[in-house]
């Protein structure tokens, strides 16, 4: 998904129906946003998040980390570069 401007799409493949959460952090580890998706069906899923922080502000260009949780278990960490 890199680099991105306004939205990021994550493709995940779920073995069974699951709750998914995507948390975005700045490079210092401060949590900027958290998006939850309940009861996603098994198989390939595409999750789209925007570049707005939890307090409603547009994220400036920079490097961010996203962590994807499946049923509250960390599944993947992705480095994001916003232009």
What's the CA gap between 79 and 41, in Å, rounded?
A: 26
Reference 45, options 22, 79, 74; nearest CA is 22
Kindly list the averaged pLDDT for each block of 10 residues, start to end, along the chain of length 83. 85 96 94 95 94 86 95 94 91
pLDDT at res. 1:
62
| Global confidence as pTM | 0.89
pLDDT at res. 57:
86
């Amino acid at each position: 998904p890199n680099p991105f401007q306004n939205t990021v799409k994550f493709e995940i493949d779920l073995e069974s129906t699951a709750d998914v959460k995507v948390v975005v952090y700045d490079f210092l580890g401060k949590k900027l946003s958290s998006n939850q998706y309940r009861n996603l069906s098994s198989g390939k899923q595409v999750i789209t998040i925007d570049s707005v922080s939890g307090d409603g502000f547009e994220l400036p260009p920079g490097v961010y980390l996203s962590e994807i949780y499946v049923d509250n278990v960390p599944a993947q960490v992705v480095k994001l570069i916003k232009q």
